Chain A
Amino acid sequence: MDIVIENMTKTYGRQKAVDNISLQVKTGEILGFLGPNGAGKTTTMKAITSFLIPDSGKIFIGNISVNDNPQEAKKNIGYLPENNPLYEDMPVIDYLQFCARIEGIAKDKINDKVREVIQTCGISREKHKKISELSKGYKQRVGLAQALIHDPEVLILDEPTTGLDPNQIIEIRELIKKIGKEKTVILSSHILAEVEATCDRIVIIKKGKIVADGTVEELRSQAQGNETLKVTIEDGGLDEIFKALQLLNTVELVDFVDKSTQTFQVKSKPGQSSRRDVFNLCVEKGWTLTQLTFIETRLEDIFYELTLDN
């Protein structure tokens, strides 16, 4: 099921939390929702789950309008809210059974379903414990299990890996990837590596507006523009090398990175690569090329550039 958001706006008092956002997420897509704190990620997600009513705009889950038919829309959504609220004094298995019941799963199927999500989320050993006794990682899994119990077409996960240790993060990521193959997933985060690792597509939002939308590669090439290389050349004079590099046809700018090791940063002209020229130059002059690395623009840089206040 696709998620379609059309011109959604939501204001809190005088502040516009979400400003006229339009977005479409297709089935089988894992969308990473990025943005600094207070950018409107959570608000958007709450609106999709119909917990918040937007001031204007429409949201559709498949063909079902969230505004007109929230009960029907909610049946297709699994939601893991921010901070993962749970009924802490209930045992895991009771809690999941309770969730299954209010999701309207047939009585004779509840136990099977609960067993299934317990298996998927890896909480078999904890299932009889009280939720308050679980570690944060396991609580997160219970939250995820709760979102998955009715096998929803759409998954909305608000910061699913906050507070987890690195191993748990990897496990949850794998789980999301596995689940995300057949479902439509929106996942918010401010951990960039996470989005990069799990998501097919990234939307960056700033002050309630979408500032970027595309795959990681698309965003990268968009932000990057010119190719940048890190080059270390030995067996030649520092200035001599610098000047020679500067004179190459494909090179726009050369900069020192480290004079003692003779390392330079070489920025190529737009749309061109200077890697060959650098190599040929060294061969010609008899210099030794000890390093030639391609500097990728990191997602952090893109994020920083797009969301920085001007």
Chain B
Amino acid sequence: MQAYFDSLMAYILLILFLGFSGFFTWIYGSDIFFVKQANLQVFFSIAYWTLFFFIPALTMRLLSEENRSGTIELLLTKPISEWQVIVAKFLAALLLIVAALALTTPYYITVSSLGNIDNGAVFSGYLALILVSGMYIAIGLFTSSITNNQIVAYLLALSIGIFFQIIFQMLSSNLTGIAGGVTDYLSINSHFESMTRGVIDSRDLIYFLSVIVLGLVFSESMLMKKRSV
């Protein structure tokens, strides 16, 4: 909704994302040739981490800047609801990520020319990346809504992200029983891995979508709260 694509920041992030993911996928370390299989798993797991760092940078100013400059007042006194504001911002950020992912299709073309590629796995892998992005955007949007400082929003989003990215996984490997199950379910990794292998389970979809919806609902209630302080 906002002139997102106008901002230089978006382009910088786009290029950095492509640069990083390309570098690690093709050139550095245990790269895509090392696997000796024609699939995009390596790219997916690298993109998974790049997005983890990049999305909070993309979302940090979405609402915090509006809070700081007071333009949120302008926006909310127009005939649109808080929910519309939140969803529009979410979609704008998601669109940018989708555009970034769309620009990685050359990877797919190259790899598919190298051997037989599992198209289903590629599709579900991309879907998984979009869902993970959606989740981070929702979290980032929420942290952006509670502060008017971009840096605070970024760090908060990152630290909430770390829970989903690493900590729940670590806990689940140490815990048993219900606690182990819960933390395992909360960890992104278990959902993401299976999707990049080509398994689309409704439980994984529900997981991602519910975190997204929760993030958006919390952001909306933060906006509401400001109005009735």
Contact = CB atoms under 8 A, between A and B. Distances in A.
B158 to A, nearest CB: 25
B71 A53 contact: no
B151 interface: no
A238 B81 CA distance: 74
B69 A85 contact: yes
B111 interface: no
Interface string A23-48: 00000000000000000000000100
Interface stretch (B1-9, B180-188, B190-198, B201-209): B1-9
A152 B65 CA distance: 27
Looking at chain B's contact residues, the main secondary structure is loop
B74 interface: yes
B77 interface: yes
B52 to A, nearest CB: 27
A99 B3 CA distance: 12
A77 B77 contact: yes
A89 B66 CA distance: 13
Contacts, number: 57
Contacts of B3: 87, 89-90, 94, 98
Interface in B33-74: 69-71, 73-74
Given A52-B227, A103-B79, A104-B79, A89 B69 contact: no
B228 interface: yes
B81 A71 contact: yes
B102 interface: no
Interface in B201-229: 227-229
A85 to B, nearest CB: 4
29 contacts: A12-B229, A46-B73, A49-B77, A51-B73, A51-B77, A52-B228, A71-B79, A71-B81, A75-B79, A77-B77, A79-B77, A81-B70, A81-B73, A81-B74, A86-B71, A86-B74, A87-B2, A89-B3, A89-B6, A90-B3, A90-B6, A94-B3, A94-B6, A98-B3, A99-B78, A102-B78, A102-B80, A103-B79, A104-B79
Given A53-B228, A75-B79, 20 more contacts: A49-B77, A50-B77, A51-B73, A51-B77, A51-B227, A77-B77, A79-B74, A81-B70, A81-B74, A81-B77, A85-B69, A85-B70, A85-B71, A85-B73, A86-B71, A87-B71, A89-B7, A94-B6, A102-B80, A103-B78
